[in-house]
Amino acid sequence: MLTTGSKLFLGATVLSLVAAIVYGLSTSGGFGWLGVMGLLTAAVAFAFMFCINYYTHDGNVSAMSEHATAESPAAQPPATRSMWPLIAAVGVAAIALGAVSKPIVFKGGVIVVLAAGLEWMVQGWSDRASADPEYNAGLRKRMLHPVEFPILAAVGLGVVIYSFSRIMLWINKSGGPVVFVLAGGVILFGGFLIALRPTIRGGVIAGVCAIAALGLVATGALMAIDGQRTIAEHPTTQTDNNAVCALAEEGPGEQAEADQKGSQAVSSKASVGLTVTLENGQLDAHQLGVQGNVNPITVSRGNIVNLIFKNKDSEKRRLTVNMGQFTIDVNGTTVKQQPKECTTLVHPDGSQFLTFTLPKPSIASAEPYTLTVPGVDGLKPIEIKVP
């Protein structure tokens, strides 16, 4: 027996189907297709609804059903309040925004949707665990608190650390330690006050902590927007296109700091393939696996070369790797390039570790690859062959 709703959907299905046939026969071209496809889609949708409506008997409850009063939607208790649909909607909005703006917003949106979906799912499940809402809420807590609290703690800690880092990067170098001491002092004093008054209410402590956290996050956000202070790049031997590598003495200006504070000892390393020693005004190279000193040495193209330079001279010296000479075209002008790598100044009896890579074979360079020490007269450089 067809119900009233089913009859209506059946009629709509037949009507859509007839309309699709008539429209298809009377209209040609692109708009013919548009109309036919649209009407056929409507026919399929109506047919589907007819089937569902017929199956559910228009949603009518039989008077003979013994569970009718309990199973009807009207008999159900209202769903408990939940913030997860709202949070999931925010996540979906973030996904849409992130798709056209920044990937981090998109990824954040995905995480929010997944987290909200999980919470929503568990809450929906626990709501129907029993007839007692309190028991159901307890069940949800028992399931999710072991996951929620560590994650919330980690996120909270991350926010505090990030906010504090923005503050420390905003204030000047000398003011940093003062702020650190003051912040530590305030926290210590606050702890002292709380310990002094054991009867103080938990709500007051929570309120003070919340205000402090809010202040920290707000200050951090403001300082993050304003931007960090300018931090000058620490000079190294590679500053100014390795210019210091040609000097026998300390680098000029701030670059001297790199030479003055360079490490003078090398700890045990397993990856060293070459040891170069400066002694009696000459360089000796000992290659791993080869007996005695060698000149020239051979290294593989593109491989990382790790060497230790030992200074047995009475002066401070640096080891320089002359990495050939190449000509390149810069906006129509031919420019010569002589790349170099070097250690900082090594004190007498000191040693230093140096890493470099030779990406091209020796034959590609106008000058040979060599290891040399600037400022040592009569020194015979060690040639590096790259097959």
Told to check if 93 binds another protein by CB under 8 A, we report no
Told to check if 72 binds another protein by CB under 8 A, we report yes
- Name which position in 128, 141, 234, 261 contacts another protein (CB under 8 A): 128
Which two three-digit tokens encode residue 315? 């002066």
Closest separation in Å from C-beta 45 to another protein: 5
- Name which position in 76, 228, 241, 263 contacts another protein (CB under 8 A): 76
Told to check if 73 binds another protein by CB under 8 A, we report yes
φ and ψ of 371, to 5 deg = -110, 130
Q: Give the binding range for another protein (CB under 8 A) out of 36-44, 101-109, 181-189, 228-236.
A: 36-44
Told to check if 101 binds another protein by CB under 8 A, we report no
Q: Which amino acid is at 141?
A: K
Told to check if 8 binds another protein by CB under 8 A, we report no
Site for another protein in 236-295 (CB under 8 A): none
111: Cα within 13 Å, side-chain hemisphere: 7
Told to check if 130 binds another protein by CB under 8 A, we report yes
Closest CA to 164 of 207, 213, 232: 213
Q: Give the binding range for another protein (CB under 8 A) out of 118-126, 306-314, 320-328, 348-356.
A: 118-126
User: CA-to-CA distance for 8 and 59, rounded, in angstroms?
Assistant: 15
Told to check if 132 binds another protein by CB under 8 A, we report yes
Cα 375 to chain centroid, rounded: 46
Beta bridge partners of 65: none
3-state secondary structure of 324: coil
Burial 204-223 (b: 16+ CB within 10 A, else e): eeeeeeeeeeeebbeebeeb
Would you give the end-to-end CA distance of the chain in angstroms? 90
Helix (H) or strand (E) holding 342, with range, is: strand 340-342
Which two three-digit tokens encode residue 84? 């997860």
Closest separation in Å from C-beta 79 to another protein: 11
Residue whose CB is less far from another protein, 29 or 289: 29
Beta bridge partners of 305: 356
Closest separation in Å from C-beta 2 to another protein: 18
The Cα-based distances of 138 to 85, 125, 292 in angstroms read 21, 12, 77
3-state secondary structure of 329: strand
- Name which position in 15, 129, 208, 216 contacts another protein (CB under 8 A): 129
Told to check if 298 binds another protein by CB under 8 A, we report no
Q: At how many degrees (to 10) do helices 133-170 and 103-127 cross? A: 160
Q: Supply angle C-alpha 322, 326, 327, rounded to 5.
A: 150
Residue whose CB is less far from another protein, 84 or 356: 84
Told to check if 44 binds another protein by CB under 8 A, we report yes
Told to check if 135 binds another protein by CB under 8 A, we report yes
Closest CA to 121 of 147, 149, 97, 98: 147
Residue whose CB is less far from another protein, 77 or 332: 77
- Name which position in 31, 149, 162, 189 contacts another protein (CB under 8 A): 31
- Name which position in 1, 63, 131, 270 contacts another protein (CB under 8 A): 131
Q: Give the binding range for another protein (CB under 8 A) out of 29-37, 79-87, 211-219, 245-253.
A: 29-37
Note whether 308 and 352 are within 8 A (CB). yes
Told to check if 19 binds another protein by CB under 8 A, we report no
Told to check if 48 binds another protein by CB under 8 A, we report yes
Residue whose CB is less far from another protein, 93 or 248: 93
Told to check if 63 binds another protein by CB under 8 A, we report no
Name the residues that contact another protein, by CB under 8 A. 29-31, 33-38, 40-42, 44-45, 48-49, 52, 56, 59, 67, 70-73, 75-77, 117, 121-122, 124-125, 128-132, 135
